[in-house]
């Protein structure tokens, strides 16, 4: 701790100076590793009698790879000498491999010397594998020195010289080096000479796209892509040779060529391209789009999936080609192209075939070139239809995403593709169904659903997957239906489905809320039917706790917000039910001008908008607490009163509940700490543990806390750490105190907050000597705690929000006893909503058994889902929904007992070796459990 705090703490907080001998400086020297040093193994290379022994030795060097800085140059020299005398190519490859590892991982290695040595060694090399490894070493070492333009030019020259090698491995490595290390200047700084040289490099790489080996052709195209990513402009002249590569025999070449076609089409969209007939011209982006569409019928799955993905990201395509992708009928000059069978059938029907009246009317047609005959539909015709009907999931998924991306920017295409996306709701793979549902949700502002489409969509509501059902709820809430009949179909199916899956209640509520707001005029003629209003008879009052009736109420009330003529239709009990729902679920029911609480509601809304009254209340509560002229007892009484008032304020005003809870919890910690320190029997372990938990809550459970407020909290936590040390007098408490002081020192400097007297005293105590024994440090801290004034209460910040959780299932009033065999595992379904959590992966499920055993379970990541209504907040926190199974197991119990389940937050306290402490975010829910003994025998 002295090494961390001594310099800054003494400089800032210690006002007295003392002359004396300077402290002894420690010089840490890293000892060489005896027996495992790589330098020792390198020295043994000379004694190797065979290549196998040398290879084994090089493998041991590669495993440890620990050199002293002074030994690196000597090791490189010995490895180079052995390279020149070694006959086996495998050993020479391993030596070049070691050059790369030494340059990247060993401190003190001179990369320039390693590059020079590698170039020298492969200059007269004959083995293709060794040359390929040498080029790979130059590539990795050169990437670390990419700022040296002269060196990069030299490495590119070496690669160009080795391109003449007959091995595909060497050629691929050389092409890769050229594309990644060729020096590229920013476009404004390029001279004519640089542009000419860059064109030469591009032409060189383009020439190797005609190589015999498919791997070289693939690497040549990939190198062009790499140059483009690094900022070099590719010429449109590459388009024709790249298009020719789309019919390559190898899928790796076709895949990279597709990317280049897409790139050139988007870069030069308005350039003209002449078709095969030599007369028709077409825009380059349209031609590229057609060629990518043709790749949807490729034999390779990866190429088909890539083609579908690229179609979705192609922009500025003409509408006629875009719409052609959804029609399987082949078009030529925007006219339907008939097959030979169709033309022959037309001649038969007309009776004008081989009549003999005309000369040679039955003569054979003209000869056709073999390449011009296509048995499969070509071009853009039905590309997405083929992609959506593909046999493999990857292609169908990519096609759905592509249709969604194009539909978001083209309303006409969105309307045309709606039927195809709806058909994907019946796909056999759940992930494809989810993608289709999500796609329809994203393009919902472009489309209107018809009855026939709704039949398919509503049929998917019976899916066993909760993800699919909730996705459909989101989609139905965001879409617009065409007629009153469509809306009636939706409502009836949603209510029927709610009986089958009651766990979807909350998702259904949000769905009907959005449907009511979007379709107010369609809900109006259905109001009397939905609410059961009769013109002559008084109908029985529905049960407001019935989920189906709640859905209807939410739908109608949200529609009434935009249709005032609906309000006179409400019965008296409907108005009472509105008041109840408005109080229990304000985020689902809008404010309406009905009921006895209309005036108070409007006043409350105005109070929520204007927070000046709340600020005045905060100031009045905390007005005299920090007045040092008052006695400590008076300030403590005022603090206790402030805590009570702030707790009441947090219940009355949800908008400022976070700030009120934060200040009230801070006040409670100050009161508890003062009472514990001045207790006659000293602070008890229980009180200290509760104080530690409250400090952790202040540090981790609240968001929107400024650095100044956080500094005050950490200074209070430092006092609690000091009280724990004084009470425990253990080495662990001393380590926690020093670690906490180190973090607080950095926080105070960052926030610009002056430390309080106790913090200054602790820093001085820790800075006086290098090490403190726990007992001595505890004796020094004890009087500082007793004499320190009350901590400063931070001013209220109304932007503070508190992380909290609510457990929906299991219910708190559940009396069902869970029975299972002792020693086995029983699962309890848990559904909870957590709002304003900074790190959802820190959530834990705490299970407390009656015998005081406590387990903290980590929920799987896929059990954490975002909440539908508010996924993220303005302060960067998240709202998540936890759906998981809590596993419970125990021995035999004589009678049923309760097991408490709660949602907690795991926080790192620092300085300790125990598990991370837990902060409860909600009150625990008790589940009655009865493990029964296993019955043996018959």
pLDDT the model gives residue 67: 72
Beta strand 843-848 with 854-857: parallel, antiparallel or unpaired?
A: antiparallel
Closest CA to 529 of 550, 552, 512, 508: 552
Closest CA to 794 of 924, 887, 935, 669: 669
Q: State the average pLDDT over residues 480-508.
A: 91
pLDDT, tens digit, 9 for 90 and up, residues 636-662 = 888 888 889 888 888 888 888 888 999
Upper half-sphere CA count for residue 715 (Cβ side, 13 Å): 27
Residues 6+ apart with CB under 8 A from 87: 51
pLDDT, tens digit, 9 for 90 and up, residues 44-74 = 777 777 888 888 888 887 787 777 777 778 8
Q: State the average pLDDT over residues 167-191.
A: 89
Dist CA 578 CA 560 (whole Å): 12
Q: Using the predicted structure, report yes or no on whether residue 25 has a pLDDT greater than 80.
A: no
- Helix-, strand-, coil-residue percentages of the chain, each rounded to 5: 60, 10, 30
CA 654, 655, 661, 667 torsion-angle sign: negative
Q: Quote the crossing angle between the two packed helices 301-312 and 251-267, to the nearest 10°.
A: 10
Closest CA to 685 of 731, 727, 734: 727
Dist CA 225 CA 223 (whole Å): 5
Closest CA to 62 of 87, 98, 92: 98
Dist CA 570 CA 674 (whole Å): 58
CA 646, 649, 651, 657 torsion-angle sign: negative
Q: Using the predicted structure, report yes or no on whether residue 608 has a pLDDT greater than 80.
A: no
Q: Using the predicted structure, report yes or no on whether residue 111 has a pLDDT greater than 50.
A: yes
Beta strand 925-932 with 864-866: parallel, antiparallel or unpaired?
A: unpaired
> How many Cβ atoms from other residues are within 10 Å of residue 583's Cβ?
10
Residues 6+ apart with CB under 8 A from 490: 454, 458, 476, 481, 515
Closest CA to 723 of 678, 773, 767, 755: 678
**Cβ-contact 747, 711 below 8 angstroms:** yes
Please name the residue that has the structure tokens 């991982």. 105
pLDDT the model gives residue 132: 93
Q: Cα-flanking dihedrals φ and ψ of residue 459, to 5°?
A: -65, -30
Q: Using the predicted structure, report yes or no on whether residue 609 has a pLDDT greater than 90.
A: no
**Cβ-contact 931, 820 below 8 angstroms:** yes
Please name the residue that has the structure tokens 């002295």. 2
Cα 159 off chain centre by? 40
Closest CA to 704 of 593, 825, 836, 586: 836
Tokens representing residue 287 in the block: 């031609």
Cα R_g (the chain), whole angstroms: 38
Counting beta carbons within 10 angstroms of the beta carbon of residue 760, is it exposed (0 to 12), middle (13 to 18) or buried (19 or more)? Answer: middle
Query: pLDDT category, 16, cuts 50, 70, 90?
Result: very low
DSSP H stretches of helix in 14-50: 38-43
pLDDT the model gives residue 414: 93
Cα 744 off chain centre by? 31
pLDDT the model gives residue 147: 87
Q: Is the peptide bond before 810 cis (omega within 30 degrees of 0)?
A: yes
Positions of E strands within 441-554:
448-449, 480-481
Closest CA to 926 of 884, 897, 906: 897
Q: State the average pLDDT over residues 619-627.
A: 76
CA 137, 140, 145, 146 torsion-angle sign: positive
Q: Using the predicted structure, report yes or no on whether residue 512 has a pLDDT greater than 90.
A: yes
Most distant CA pair in the chain, distance: 129
Q: Using the predicted structure, report yes or no on whether residue 92 has a pLDDT greater than 50.
A: yes
pLDDT the model gives residue 187: 79
Query: pLDDT category, 100, cuts 50, 70, 90?
Result: confident
pLDDT the model gives residue 72: 79
Three-class secondary structure of residue 591 per DSSP: coil
**Cβ-contact 401, 309 below 8 angstroms:** yes
Query: pLDDT category, 770, cuts 50, 70, 90?
Result: low
Tokens representing residue 335 in the block: 């006219």
Q: What percent of the chain has pLDDT over 70?
A: 86
Dist CA 9 CA 759 (whole Å): 10
pLDDT the model gives residue 771: 58
Q: Using the predicted structure, report yes or no on whether residue 128 has a pLDDT greater than 70.
A: yes
Q: State the average pLDDT over residues 441-460.
A: 91
pLDDT, tens digit, 9 for 90 and up, residues 270-312 = 888 887 777 778 899 999 999 999 999 999 999 999 999 999 9
Dist CA 654 CA 449 (whole Å): 39
Q: State the average pLDDT over residues 348-360.
A: 57
pLDDT the model gives residue 225: 94
Dist CA 903 CA 922 (whole Å): 6
Dist CA 225 CA 73 (whole Å): 38
pLDDT, tens digit, 9 for 90 and up, residues 316-334 = 898 889 998 988 765 444 4
**Cβ-contact 738, 763 below 8 angstroms:** no
Beta strand 480-481 with 925-932: parallel, antiparallel or unpaired?
A: unpaired
- pTM, rounded to two decimals: 0.75
The pLDDT mean for the chain works out to 83
**Cβ-contact 882, 830 below 8 angstroms:** yes
| DSSP H or E run through 235 | none
Residues 6+ apart with CB under 8 A from 162: 122, 131, 135, 170, 174
Beta strand 843-848 with 897-906: parallel, antiparallel or unpaired?
A: antiparallel
Q: Give the 3-state secondary structure of 164-222.
A: CCCCHHHHHHHHHHHHHHCCCCCHHHCCHHHHHHHHHHHHHHHHHHHCCCHHHHHHHHH
Q: Cα-flanking dihedrals φ and ψ of residue 653, to 5°?
A: -120, 95
Q: What percent of the chain has pLDDT over 90?
A: 38
Considering only residues 605 and 749, tell me which one the structure prediction assigns the higher pLDDT. Answer: 749
Tokens representing residue 77 in the block: 């020299």
Dist CA 778 CA 772 (whole Å): 9
Dist CA 90 CA 93 (whole Å): 5
Closest CA to 570 of 509, 511, 515, 523: 523
Tokens representing residue 789 in the block: 């004034």
Q: State the average pLDDT over residues 213-238.
A: 92
pLDDT the model gives residue 911: 47
Query: pLDDT category, 343, cuts 50, 70, 90?
Result: low
Q: Using the predicted structure, report yes or no on whether residue 519 has a pLDDT greater than 70.
A: yes
Angle, vertex CA 848, rays to CA 844 and CA 853, nearest 5: 110
pLDDT the model gives residue 358: 55
Please name the residue that has the structure tokens 């609906």. 566
Three-class secondary structure of residue 918 per DSSP: strand
Q: State the average pLDDT over residues 382-404.
A: 93
Considering only residues 568 and 69, tell me which one the structure prediction assigns the higher pLDDT. Answer: 568
**Cβ-contact 269, 283 below 8 angstroms:** yes
pLDDT the model gives residue 106: 79
Closest CA to 866 of 903, 837, 828, 905: 837
Query: pLDDT category, 910, cuts 50, 70, 90?
Result: low
Tokens representing residue 427 in the block: 């796909």
């Amino acid at each position: 701790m002295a090494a961390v705090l001594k310099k800054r703490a003494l400089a800032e907080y210690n006002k007295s100076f003392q002359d004396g001998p300077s402290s002894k400086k420690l010089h840490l020297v890293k000892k060489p590793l005896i027996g495992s040093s790589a330098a020792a193994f390198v020295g043994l290379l000379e004694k190797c009698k065979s290549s196998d022994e040398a290879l084994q030795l090089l493998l041991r060097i590669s495993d440890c790879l620990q050199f002293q800085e002074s030994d690196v140059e000597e090791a490189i020299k010995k490895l180079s000498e052995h390279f020149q005398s070694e006959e086996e190519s495998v050993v020479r490859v391993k030596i070049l491999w070691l050059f790369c590892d030494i340059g990247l991982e060993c401190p003190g290695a001179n990369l320039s010397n390693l590059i020079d040595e590698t170039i020298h060694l492969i200059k007269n090399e004959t083995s293709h594998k060794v040359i390929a490894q040498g080029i790979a070493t130059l590539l990795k070492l050169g990437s670390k020195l990419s700022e040296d333009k002269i060196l990069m030019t030299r490495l590119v020259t070496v690669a160009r010289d080795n391109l003449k090698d007959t091995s595909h491995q060497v050629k691929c490595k050389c092409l890769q080096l050229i594309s990644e290390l060729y020096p590229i200047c920013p476009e404004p700084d390029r001279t004519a000479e640089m542009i000419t040289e860059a064109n030469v490099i591009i032409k060189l790489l383009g020439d190797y796209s005609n190589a015999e080996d498919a791997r070289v052709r693939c690497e040549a195209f990939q190198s062009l892509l790499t140059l483009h990513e690094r900022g070099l402009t590719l010429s449109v002249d590459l388009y024709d040779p790249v298009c020719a590569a789309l019919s390559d025999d190898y899928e790796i070449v076709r895949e990279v060529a597709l990317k280049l076609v897409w790139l050139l089409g988007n870069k030069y969209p308005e350039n003209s391209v002449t078709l095969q007939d030599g007369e028709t011209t077409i825009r380059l982006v349209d031609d590229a789009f057609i060629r990518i569409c043709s790749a949807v019928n490729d034999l390779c799955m990866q190429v088909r999936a890539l083609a579908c993905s690229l179609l979705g990201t192609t922009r500025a395509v003409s509408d006629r080609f875009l719409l052609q992708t959804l029609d399987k009928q082949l078009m030529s000059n925007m006219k339907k192209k008939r097959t030979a069978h169709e033309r022959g059938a037309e001649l038969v029907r007309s009776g004008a075939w081989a009549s003999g009246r005309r000369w040679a009317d039955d003569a054979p047609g003209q000869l056709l070139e073999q390449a011009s005959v296509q048995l499969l539909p070509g071009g853009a015709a039905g590309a997405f239809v083929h992609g959506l009907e593909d046999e493999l999931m990857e292609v169908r998924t990519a096609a759905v995403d592509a249709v969604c991306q194009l539909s978001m920017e083209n309303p006409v295409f969105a309307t045309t593709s709606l039927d195809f996306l709806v058909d994907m709701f019946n796909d056999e793979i759940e992930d494809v169904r989810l993608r289709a549902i999500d796609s329809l949700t994203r393009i919902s502002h472009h489309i209107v659903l018809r009855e026939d489409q709704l039949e398919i969509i509503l049929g998917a509501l019976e899916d066993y997957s909760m993800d699919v059902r909730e996705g459909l709820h989101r989609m139905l809430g965001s879409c617009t239906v065409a007629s009153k009949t469509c809306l009636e179909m939706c409502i009836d199916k949603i209510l029927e489905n709610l009986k089958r899956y009651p766990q979807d209640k909350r998702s259904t509520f949000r769905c009907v809320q959005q449907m009511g707001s979007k379709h107010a005029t369609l809900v109006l003629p259905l109001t009397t039917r939905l609410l059961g209003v009769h013109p002559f008879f008084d109908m029985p009052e529905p049960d407001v706790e019935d989920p189906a009736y709640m859905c209807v109420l939410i739908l109608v009330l949200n529609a009434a917000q935009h249709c005032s003529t609906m309000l006179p239709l409400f019965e008296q009990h409907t108005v009472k039910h509105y008041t109840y729902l408005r109080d229990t679920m304000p985020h689902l029911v809008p404010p309406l001008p009905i009921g006895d609480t209309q005036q108070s509601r409007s006043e409350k809304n105005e109070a929520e908008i204007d927070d000046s009254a709340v600020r005045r209340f905060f100031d009045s509560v905390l007005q005299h607490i920090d007045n040092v002229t008052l006695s400590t007892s008076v300030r403590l009484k005022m603090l206790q009163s402030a805590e009570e008032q702030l707790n009441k304020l947090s219940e009355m005003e949800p908008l400022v509940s976070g700030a009120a809870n934060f200040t009230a919890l801070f006040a409670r910690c100050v009161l508890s700490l003062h009472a514990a320190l001045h207790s006659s029997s000293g602070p008890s372990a229980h009180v200290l543990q509760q104080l530690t938990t409250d400090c952790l809550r202040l540090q981790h459970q609240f968001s929107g806390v400024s650095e100044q407020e956080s500094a005050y909290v950490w200074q209070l936590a430092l006092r609690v750490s000091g009280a724990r040390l004084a009470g425990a007098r253990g080495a662990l408490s001393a380590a926690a105190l020093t670690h906490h002081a180190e973090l607080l020192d950095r926080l105070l400097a960052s926030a610009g907050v002056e430390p309080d007297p106790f913090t200054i005293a602790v820093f001085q105590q820790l800075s006086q000597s290098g090490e403190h024994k726990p007992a001595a440090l505890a004796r020094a801290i004890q009087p500082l705690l007793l004499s320190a004034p009350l901590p400063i209460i931070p001013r209220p910040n109304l932007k503070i929000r508190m992380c909290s959780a609510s457990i929906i299932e299991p219910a708190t009033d559940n009396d069902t006893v869970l029975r299972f065999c002792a020693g086995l595992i029983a699962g309890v379904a848990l559904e909870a909503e957590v709002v304003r959590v900074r790190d959802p992966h820190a959530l834990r499920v705490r299970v407390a058994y009656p015998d005081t055993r406590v387990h903290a379970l980590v929920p799987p990541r896929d059990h954490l889902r975002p909440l539908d209504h508010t996924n993220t907040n303005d302060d960067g926190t998240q709202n998540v929904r936890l759906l998981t199974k809590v596993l419970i197991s125990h021995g035999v119990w004589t009678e049923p007992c309760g097991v408490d389940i709660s949602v907690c937050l795991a926080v790192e306290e620092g300085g300790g070796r125990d598990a991370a402490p837990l902060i409860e975010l909600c009150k625990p829910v008790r589940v009655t459990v009865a493990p029964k003994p296993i019955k043996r025998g018959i």
